[in-house]
Amino acid sequence: MPFKKITERSKDINPFHVMDILAQAKQLEQQGQDIIHMEVGEPDFDTPQPIIDAGIAALKSGKTHYTPALGLPDLREKIAAWYQTHYQVNISPNRIVITPGASGALLLVMGALLERDKKVLLADPGYPCNRNFARFVEGKAQSIAVDANSNFQLTAEHINQNWDEDTAMALVASPSNPTGTVLSADEIMSLSQAVNAKQGHLVVDEIYHGLTYDGIDTPTALSIDQNAFVINSFSKFFGMTGWRLGWLVVPEQYESVMDRLAQNLFLAAPTMAQYAALSAFDANTLAILEQRRQQFEQRRNSLFPALQALGLTLSASPQGAFYIYANCSGLLNETQPDSMALSKHWLQQAGVAVTPGNDFGHYQAEQYIRFAYTTNEQRLLEAVQRIQTLGL
């Protein structure tokens, strides 16, 4: 059959570059080579057992039908209670929208707030799908180059310098993907003041909340700005990537637009996952998650100096998520002139899979590599050893 026309917007949406790496890694594995996976952006731990048990019980008792579009009332209440106990912030359950992952929340936010040809300000490097969501709703992503000077985060100065009459919103993530850096309460406050002064929307992606280290506990943007749109998910901290469940907190007056959009775009988030997530905030689940958080912290503590010893340049230790974004320019040469070539070299010659910077934007992308510490400490150190043995 001849290939029929597809939309311009879908042509503009590219696959991740890491897919190339993944495909090669699979091929090598099929040939019997042992690959250490540090490219994967999801916890290696399975979903905690109490959540799995609750999911199974829900299925067995026939919880297989649609829920309301905004989500199960009980789950919305549990999340509101979590904001109260964990962050001491009072959020009405009415403001909480249950979504198919943070991805569903991003689609709702962009769909509701970004008019055709209007702009969203984003950090480069940043989570790659954000600009594609903007494109999908016919808006524009304006990427702003960030580096170690601002801890790889947008600042109020970035907002003030880049905002114009076509800008509608700014989207930040804390902790961030790919850098793992965190915004302090003061930094969120100045971002909020800058965006509000422009009558714009501040969207804060808090998907890596819970995964923070060095004794810091990230504040939710809701404790600073009740008008912020906050995105979160059960994927990362709660270890539920495959269940496809997240949430969005909106200011009260946006509840009805989100309800209409959710009804039409996906009817509701997966029912089984919502029932399972009712157990996510139980004390026994939280105890398991805390143990895992400590393991991530231990992995980061070992990997960080090991990467430095390899000759990678690392800025301040990332305080969240499970990523280290490392400058590899000291390791580049004529045969491996950029991070993509170096990543492929490491994969082919050392069996170590990592993600090159060009998946996260353009700014200095060819000099950066993202290491995900989503495999155990011994394997992480073995990966470093293999690269070391390879030499330059």
Residues at the contact surface with ligand PLP, assessed by CB under 6 A:
41, 101-103, 127, 173, 177, 205, 207, 233, 235, 241, 246
Question: Min. distance of Cβ 207 from ligand PLP in angstroms?
Answer: 4
CB atoms within 10 A of CB 284: 11
Question: Min. distance of Cβ 101 from ligand PLP in angstroms?
Answer: 3
- Which CB, 40 or 257, lies closer to ligand PLP? 40
Question: Min. distance of Cβ 389 from ligand PLP in angstroms?
Answer: 31
- Closest-by-Cβ residue to ligand PLP is 101
Helix or strand run (H / E) with residue 167: strand 167-173
CA atoms within 13 A on the CB side of 293: 21
Task: Provide the β-strand partners of residue 201.
Answer: 169
DSSP structural state of residue 217: -
Phi, then psi, of 321 in degrees rounded to 5: 60, -155
Contacts by residues 284-288 (CB-CB < 8 Å, ≥ 24 positions apart): 284/50, 285/48, 285/50, 285/51, 285/238, 288/48, 288/49, 288/50
- Which CB, 213 or 331, lies closer to ligand PLP? 213
Separation between Cα atoms, residue 108 and residue 92, nearest integer Å: 19
Residue 41: name the closest of 360, 348, 389 by CA. Answer: 360
Single-letter code of the amino acid located at 1: M
Separation between Cα atoms, residue 149 and residue 364, nearest integer Å: 14
- Which CB, 155 or 235, lies closer to ligand PLP? 235
Cβ atoms 347, 21 nearer than 8 A:
yes
Question: Min. distance of Cβ 34 from ligand PLP in angstroms?
Answer: 25
Residue with tokens 């964990």: 86
- Which CB, 306 or 323, lies closer to ligand PLP? 323
Question: Min. distance of Cβ 305 from ligand PLP in angstroms?
Answer: 25
Question: Min. distance of Cβ 169 from ligand PLP in angstroms?
Answer: 15
Residue 360: name the closest of 186, 165, 177 by CA. Answer: 177
Residue 122: name the closest of 64, 177, 65 by CA. Answer: 177
Question: Min. distance of Cβ 313 from ligand PLP in angstroms?
Answer: 23
- Which CB, 162 or 241, lies closer to ligand PLP? 241
Separation between Cα atoms, residue 40 and residue 351, nearest integer Å: 14
Backbone angle region of 321, left / alpha / beta, with phi > 0 → left and psi within -120 to 50 → alpha? left
Question: Min. distance of Cβ 106 from ligand PLP in angstroms?
Answer: 6
Question: Min. distance of Cβ 236 from ligand PLP in angstroms?
Answer: 7
